[in-house]
């Protein structure tokens, strides 16, 4: 079974990249990856929210992708919702079921000051 037909959004992948700052430390910048990923963004179920809360996680959304999607913990996924609002998600972890049908990123919606809940 393929989840491809349910993946109704394209999200850009931004990956942290570190480089020396010239003073013995490092700077981290986000670098846009060449290819976006097809995805479906869901809010987690009440049970998943409860488990995340008990684990002190900031998990706010499930992002489903093809199993071959090049997405890692620490990446940011950026795109627009169906209303045209910009959204960004910080990937907390990526998991796959025992049968390789999809990848699921547990993600946190990143909101700026004064933005509505999404």
Tens-digit pLDDT profile for the chain (118 aa)? 567 788 999 999 999 999 999 999 999 999 999 999 999 999 777 877 777 777 777 778 999 999 999 999 999 999 998 888 899 999 999 998 888 889 999 999 987 666 555 5
CATH code for the structural domain at 4-11+39-110: 2.30.130
| DSSP per position, 70-100 | ---TT-EEEEE-TTS-EEEEEEEEEE--SS-
Name the pTM for this structure.
0.81
Only one residue has tokens 């020396």, namely: 20
């Amino acid at each position: 079974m393929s989840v491809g037909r349910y993946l109704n959004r394209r999200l850009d992948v931004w990956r942290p990249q570190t480089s020396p700052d010239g003073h013995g430390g490092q700077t981290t910048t986000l670098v846009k990856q060449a290819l976006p990923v097809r995805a479906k963004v869901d809010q987690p179920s009440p049970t998943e929210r409860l488990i995340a809360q008990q684990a002190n996680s900031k998990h706010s959304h499930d992002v489903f992708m093809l199993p071959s999607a090049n997405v890692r913990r620490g990446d940011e996924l950026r795109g627009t919702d169906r209303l045209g609002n910009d959204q960004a998600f910080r990937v907390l972890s990526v998991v796959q079921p025992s049968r390789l049908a999809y990848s699921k990123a547990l993600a946190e919606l990143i909101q700026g000051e004064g933005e509505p809940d999404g």
